[in-house]
C-alpha cells in the first residue's frame, strides 16, 4: 500500500495528527457515515500488538477512547479509533495563561477521569500504568476520554514488578522497583490533580534522575486550599506509603467528588440501539444479522464497525451540563496542534512480558536503569 495513501478502507484521510518512530496518526472521515475518526498507522516491523488489541477491544466506557476497527496490509496495521476533538489536559491547563482551573472545572475533569479508572480497576481489573496529562483527551462536549493503554495490564490479585510509566507521574515504589498494585495509578491521579490545582508538578528538578530522587525522599509542597476536603484527598493520594492511599472507589465516594457535575444520562440501551440502526439504514447499509456481529465483537465486518462508530458518535454528542462553559475557555481546538502522543493508543493485556517489551518500557522509564539491565517479569 502506498504509504502516502489518501484513503484507508472506507476512511478518507483529512490531516495528520502526529508521528512517532514507528507510528503515525491521522484524522479521517468515514465516507458513508460522514463521521470523523482517528487512525493510527503502525509499522509491522515494530508492532507487538496482539495483547494490546485484545485489551482495546474489551474497553467500553463513555470516558475511554474506543477502538472501532483493525485494518492490515503487507506493511502496516491501522487502528481506527474514536477521535477526541478538543486536545488534551496538558494543552487545556497550559492554555489558561497562568490561571488555575476553577474548582468546578477540576471536579468535572477529575471526576470523569476517576470514573474511567474505576471501570478499569473494578470491572476489568486493569491497571493503566501510564496515567498522565497527555493521555487525558477531550471530546466535542469537553468530556474526558482516557487514552494510551501501552503499559496497561490485567490481573486479579497479583502484584506488578515491571518499572514503567512516565517519570513525573510514577510513585516511589515503582522507582525503587518494589512490587506494586493499583495504588500506583492512584499516585499518578494525585499528580494530575496536583497539576490542575497548582499549575505545576509536585516534584520538579533540573533532570529526571533528580526528580526521581525527590519523589522517593521528599514530600510535595501543598499550598493552602480553601477546599479542605480536596486538600485531604490530595495528600492521601500522594502518600508515599501505597497502603495509605485511597482506592478509586474511595475517591469517587469522597466528600469532594460527591458534588461533582453529573454526566448527562444516556438514552436507554434499546433507544440508543434503534437510533444507531436508523442511522445505518439511512446510509444505505444492510443491517441484517448486525446484532449477532455486535455481540461477537466483530471488528472486521463493515456494518458492525459502522454500528460502533455511530453509537460512540451519539454518546459523544450528548452535551454535558458544564461542557459549554469549558468550551469557552482558551484551549487549542484542532488536534492538528496536539502532541503526537495524545492519540497513540497502544494497550497491553498480556501478563508475561517479553524482553522486547521490557526494553520498550525502559526507554520511557530510562532514569531507573539501562534497558539491558531489565529482566522479564511475570507481571
Given a cut of 90, whether residue 184 has pLDDT beyond it is yes
Sheet of 23-30, strand order: 7-8, 11-19, 23-30, 36-43, 76-82, 67-72
pLDDT at position 96:
59
Whole-number mean pLDDT of the chain? 81
CA distance between the termini of the chain: 37
Query: How large is the greatest C-alpha to C-alpha distance in the chain, in angstroms?
Result: 63
Q: 60-74 burial string, b = 16+ CB within 10 Å, else e?
A: ebbbbbbbbbbbeee
Q: What are the grid coordinates assigned to 3, written together?
A: 504509504
> Each residue of 187-223: pLDDT tens digit?
999 999 999 999 999 999 999 999 999 999 999 999 9
Confidence (pLDDT) at 212? 96
User: 3-state class of 121 per DSSP?
Assistant: helix
Distance CA 280, CA 3 (A): 30
CA-based angle 155:160:162, to the nearest 5? 125
pLDDT-derived band at 377 (thresholds 50, 70, 90) equals: very low
Q: All 3 cell numbers of residue 17?
A: 495528527
Residue 157 pLDDT? 80
Instruction: Provide the pLDDT for residue 332.
Output: 30
Q: What's the pLDDT score for residue 129?
A: 94
Question: What does the pLDDT average to over 138-165?
Answer: 88
DSSP annotation of 313 reads H
Q: What is the pLDDT of residues 291-330, one digit of tens each?
A: 787 777 778 889 999 999 999 998 887 764 444 444 433 3
Segment 131-135 shows an average pLDDT of 95
Q: Is the pTM of this model over 0.75?
A: yes
C-alpha–C-alpha distance, residues 111 and 95, integer Å: 21
Q: What is the reported pLDDT for 14?
A: 95
% of residues, the chain, pLDDT over 70? 80
Higher pLDDT: 32 or 48? It is: 32
- The C-alpha atoms of residue 343 and residue 87 are separated, in whole angstroms, by 10
pLDDT of residue 194: 97
> How far apart, in whole angstroms, are the C-alpha atoms of residue 110 and residue 81?
23
pLDDT for 33 equals 95
Percent of the chain scored above 90 by pLDDT? 50
Q: How far is CA 249 from CA 37, 193, 261, in A?
A: 32, 16, 17
Fold of 87-253: Transferase(Phosphotransferase); domain 1 (1.10.510)
Q: 75-99 b/e with 16+ CB inside 10 Å = b?
A: ebbbbbbbbbbbbbbbbbbbeeeee
Active site residue 130: yes
Of residues 83, 86, 75, the one with CA closest to residue 41:
75
Domain 7-82 fold: Phosphorylase Kinase; domain 1 (3.30.200)
Residue 349 scores a pLDDT above 60: no
Asked if the model's pLDDT at residue 22 lies above 80, the reply is: no
What confidence category does residue 126 fall into, taking pLDDT thresholds of 50, 70 and 90? very high
75 has pLDDT over 50: yes
| pLDDT over 90 at 337, yes or no | no
Q: Which helix (H) or strand (E) holds 243?
A: none
The closest of 81, 131, 129 to 109, measured between CA atoms, is 131
Around Cβ 284, how many Cβ atoms within 10 Å? 7
Average pLDDT over residues 122-142: 93
Q: Which residues 6+ apart lie within 8 Å of 289 measured at CB?
A: none
Q: How does residue 61 score in pLDDT terms, banded at 50, 70 and 90?
A: very high
Spot the catalytic one: 130, 148, 185, 239. 130
Question: In this structure, what C-alpha cell is assigned to residue 270?
Answer: 434499546
Average pLDDT over residues 14-20: 85
Q: Which of 66, 71, 16, 13 is nearest to 42 (CA)?
A: 71
pLDDT of residue 246: 98
pLDDT of residue 48: 67
Maximum average pLDDT range among 41-50, 88-97, 309-318, 340-349: 309-318
Say if residue 41 carries a ligand binding annotation. Answer: yes
Q: Which residue has the higher pLDDT, 296 or 277?
A: 277
Does residue 236 surpass a pLDDT of 90?
yes
Contact call for residues 134 and 339 (beta carbons, < 8 A): yes
- Greater confidence (310 vs 355) lies with 310
Amino acid at each position: 500500500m502506498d504509504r502516502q495513501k489518501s484513503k484507508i478502507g472506507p476512511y478518507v484521510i483529512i490531516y495528520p495528527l502526529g508521528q512517532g518512530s514507528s507510528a503515525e496518526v491521522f484524522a479521517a472521515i468515514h465516507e458513508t457515515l460522514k463521521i470523523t475518526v482517528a487512525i493510527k498507522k503502525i509499522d509491522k516491523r515494530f508492532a507487538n500488538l496482539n495483547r494490546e488489541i485484545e485489551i482495546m477491544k474489551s474497553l467500553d466506557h463513555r470516558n475511554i477512547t474506543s477502538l472501532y476497527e483493525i485494518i492490515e496490509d503487507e506493511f502496516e496495521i491501522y487502528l481506527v479509533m474514536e477521535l477526541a476533538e478538543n486536545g488534551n489536559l496538558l494543552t487545556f491547563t497550559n492554555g489558561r495563561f497562568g490561571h488555575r482551573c476553577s474548582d468546578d472545572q477540576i471536579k468535572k475533569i477529575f471526576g470523569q477521569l476517576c470514573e474511567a479508572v474505576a471501570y478499569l480497576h473494578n470491572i476489568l481489573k486493569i491497571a493503566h500504568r501510564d496515567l498522565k496529562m497527555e493521555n487525558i483527551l477531550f471530546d466535542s462536549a469537553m468530556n474526558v476520554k482516557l487514552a494510551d493503554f501501552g503499559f496497561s495490564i490485567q490481573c486479579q490479585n497479583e502484584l506488578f514488578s515491571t518499572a514503567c510509566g512516565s517519570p513525573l507521574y510514577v510513585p516511589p515504589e515503582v522507582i525503587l522497583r518494589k512490587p506494586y498494585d493499583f495504588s500506583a495509578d492512584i499516585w499518578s491521579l494525585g499528580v494530575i490533580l496536583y497539576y490542575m490545582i497548582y499549575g505545576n508538578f509536585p516534584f520538579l528538578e533540573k533532570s529526571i534522575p533528580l526528580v526521581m530522587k525527590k519523589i522517593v525522599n521528599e514530600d510535595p509542597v501543598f499550598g493552602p486550599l480553601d477546599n479542605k476536603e480536596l486538600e485531604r484527598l490530595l495528600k492521601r493520594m500522594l502518600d508515599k506509603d501505597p497502603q495509605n492511599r485511597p482506592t478509586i472507589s474511595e475517591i469517587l465516594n469522597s466528600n469532594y467528588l460527591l458534588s461533582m457535575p453529573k454526566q448527562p444520562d444516556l438514552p436507554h440501551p434499546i433507544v440508543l440501539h434503534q437510533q444507531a440502526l436508523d442511522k445505518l439504514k439511512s446510509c444505505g447499509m444492510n443491517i441484517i444479522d448486525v446484532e449477532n456481529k455486535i455481540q461477537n465483537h466483530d471488528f472486521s465486518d463493515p456494518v458492525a464497525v459502522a454500528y460502533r462508530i455511530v453509537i460512540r458518535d451519539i454518546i459523544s454528542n450528548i452535551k454535558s451540563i458544564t461542557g459549554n462553559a469549558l468550551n469557552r475557555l482558551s484551549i487549542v481546538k484542532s488536534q492538528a496542534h496536539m502532541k503526537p502522543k495524545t492519540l497513540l493508543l497502544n494497550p497491553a493485556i498480556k501478563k508475561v512480558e517479553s524482553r522486547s517489551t521490557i526494553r520498550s518500557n525502559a526507554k520511557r522509564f530510562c532514569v531507573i536503569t539501562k534497558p539491558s539491565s531489565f529482566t522479564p517479569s511475570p507481571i
